[in-house]
């Protein structure tokens, strides 16, 4: 240590208004503090850094998959686990593929799936009258919005061909509706118009 600093320390020590015994005790305490601090620094530098444990593999897998229900005219209807960002075509393939003659005209097979949704493939047209067997509308009953055709929507008060096509197009791009209120997300359907036919719909 430089002599200048030693002289300053010596002068400061001499100006303390303590007895010799008190100064000796103060010096001992200061030495102990320095010793303990040095031990802690040395111990911390020698300790190994322990890496955080890796997350459980099962949790990682669960965060990378989704569940979908594939129903209707497929070979093996059921609930399937698929990777995140899987598309509708992959869900149909997991269910064994589409049955012969099934109607996929309103299914966007390139759409990315959402967890918990249902993919419904309409069965083949009836052989008797040549009309579709879709159970979209029951006689004097409500319209099921996830199975209704453009014509079905046109039968509602306040819905013309343009808006009916817009509803079906929205469903094809965004997937099945979760509630009848989701129709409010379709451009052109406001609260007043929705109120005209709300009671005639169900999911």
Determine, yes or no, domain membership for 66.
yes
Q: What is the DSSP string of 157-202?
A: TT--HHHHHHHHHHHHHH-S-SSGGGGGGSTT--HHHHHHHGGGEE
What is the domain count for the chain?
2
Digit-coded pLDDT (tens) for 9-38: 666 666 666 666 666 777 778 778 778 877
Mean pLDDT of the chain: 78
- Name which of 106, 102, 88 is nearest 165 in CA terms: 106
CATH of the domain at 200: 1.10.150.320
Determine, yes or no, domain membership for 46.
no
CATH of the domain at 114: 3.10.20
- Kindly report whether the global pTM for this prediction surpasses the value 0.75: no
**Which of 131, 166, 185 is the endpoint of a domain?**
131
CA dihedral 188, 189, 190, 196 (to 10 degrees): 140
The burial of 142, by beta-carbon neighbours within 10 Å (0-12 exposed, 13-18 middle, 19 or more buried), is given as middle
| 121 and 140 share one domain | no
Digit-coded pLDDT (tens) for 128-169: 444 444 544 444 568 889 888 999 999 888 899 999 999 999
Determine, yes or no, domain membership for 16.
no
Domain that residue 73 falls in = 57-131
Share of the chain above pLDDT 90, in %: 29
């Amino acid at each position: 240590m430089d002599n200048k600093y030693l002289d300053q320390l010596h002068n400061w020590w001499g100006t303390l208004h303590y007895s010799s015994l008190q100064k000796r005790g103060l010096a001992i305490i200061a030495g102990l503090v320095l010793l303990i601090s040095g031990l802690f620094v040395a111990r911390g530098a020698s300790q190994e850094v322990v890496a955080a444990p890796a997350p459980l593999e099962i949790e990682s897998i669960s965060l990378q998959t989704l569940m979908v229900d594939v129903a209707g005219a497929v070979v093996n209807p059921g609930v399937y686990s698929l990777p995140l960002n899987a598309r509708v075509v992959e869900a149909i393939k997991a269910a064994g593929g589409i049955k012969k003659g099934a109607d996929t005209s309103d299914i966007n097979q390139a759409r990315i799936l959402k967890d918990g949704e249902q993919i419904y493939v309409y069965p083949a047209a009836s052989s008797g009258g040549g009309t579709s067997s879709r159970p979209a509308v029951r006689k004097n009953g409500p319209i099921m919005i996830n199975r209704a055709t453009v014509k079905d929507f046109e039968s509602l008060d306040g819905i013309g061909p343009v808006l009916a096509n817009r509803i079906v197009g929205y469903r094809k791009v965004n997937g099945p509706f979760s509630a009848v209120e989701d129709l409010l997300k379709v451009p052109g359907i406001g609260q007043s118009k929705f109120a005209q036919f709300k009671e005639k719909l169900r999911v």
